[in-house]
Amino acid sequence: MDSIHDKQAEEDGTLLKKSAESDDSTSIHSDDYADMESTDSGENGSPRYHIANLEPMSEEEKQKERDFRKKLNKVSREIVSDSIHQAVKLIVHRPEYDPNHQEEYLSLSRELMPVVREIARKTLPLLQHEVTAEFARNHYYGSKFQADSVAYRDFRYFAKKRPPTESPGLVVGLRVDESASMAGFGRLEAAKRAVIAVYEFCQICNIPILIYGDTADVSRLEQMSIFAYADYDKTDFRDRFRLMGIRARSNNRDGMVLRIMAERLAASPKQTKLLMSISDGQPKAMEDYTGSLAIQDMQQTIAEYERKGIKFLAAAIGQDKDVISQIYGGERFLDITNLNELPSKLVRIISRYL
């Protein structure tokens, strides 16, 4: 995948530290996040943070959440109704906002946000151009040559006329494996840092985003569990705190959640649709969703939705990297050896699709 290999040397050495050239006083951030940032500075000149005083959800808001959860369950079951997952007992959860997650969120985000803002500052002018341009940029062929794209060395040097029905821009889906093995070796915290970075970058750049976690085999009555932490059909400031509810749970039925998220993205009017998966292991769920059956299901799902315009990327952070690479293919595979690099790598990849 061009977005993985472009500027690989630059990305491989990128840790989450703010560069010396970045502007400490930059105002590029989401308005909601700004509510949590004080104008006071700490000893090193960085901003201090405080806990946002969020009001409890009203009864009306709680009812809207329940209605939205019911809608997500209905839609998700319809999506898999003609697949091998049709008989699997699925429950889509809309995790409740937990005030206790605010401290964890702010602790993890302090280091991340300066880097996210820096990448966003460089990206926003490109995004503005994409929205207003008569031509859609970054194509392998077209009627207009773009000299400035040659620097990327990805052969997408042309622009072409945008059809009247084609909506510019990007929509992103981020799937997080919540299998039990995510509990070890710092993987869970790495996943949380990554989702914070991706979520906040998408908020700054006004990119619609889905962030779903999933696990399997919680019980006989709940064979597949999906956790809708952030959904572009119902955005909420509290979503950033819901993300801290991601945790290691049970097994994983990857193909089912990929199908549900891919179908949601495919229905978006956005021109570019990117679905990323953070996982530490190969698919394995009861009764027999494992081995060749699971691999074949995932590969068929990827092939089916690539024909519908979905671009897949797997970020492998565990011991089954070879199997994950086999499932997704080398061009869709990102080997994360250093977990500290995961947030910045994902954000930079997203920025390349704009």
Between CA 281 and CA 283 the distance in angstroms is: 7
At residue 160, the pLDDT reads 59
Pairing between β-strand 310-316 and β-strand 333-335 as defined by DSSP bridges: parallel
Whether the predicted pLDDT of 180 surpasses 80: yes
Q: Please state which of the ranges 61-65, 137-141, 151-155 shows the lowest mean pLDDT.
A: 151-155
Give this prediction's pTM.
Answer: 0.77
Looking at mean pLDDT, say which of 21-30, 83-92, 95-104 comes out highest: 83-92
The mean pLDDT of the chain is 80
Report how far Cα 212 is from the mean position of its chain's Cα atoms.
8
Helix (H) or strand (E) holding 44: none
- Please confirm whether the linkage preceding 10 is cis (ω < 30° from 0): no
321 falls in which pLDDT band (50, 70, 90)? confident
Please report which helix (H) or strand (E) contains residue 83, including its range: none
Of the two residues 63 and 13, the one the predictor is more confident about is 63
Q: 206's torsion region: left (phi>0), alpha (psi -120 to 50) or beta?
A: left
Q: Which fold has domain 59-123+166-351?
A: Rossmann fold (3.40.50)
- Surface-to-core class of residue 154, CB atoms within 10 Å of its CB (0-12 exposed, 13-18 middle, 19+ buried): middle
Question: Mean pLDDT across the stretch 196-218?
Answer: 95
pLDDT of 126? 63
| Nearby residues of 196 by Cβ (< 8 Å), 6 or more positions away | 105, 108, 109, 112, 240, 243, 343
CA dist., res. 9 & res. 7, Å (int): 6
Residue 69, φ and ψ in degrees, nearest 5 = -60, -40
For CATH 3.40.50.410, list the domain ranges present in the chain.
Answer: 59-123+166-351
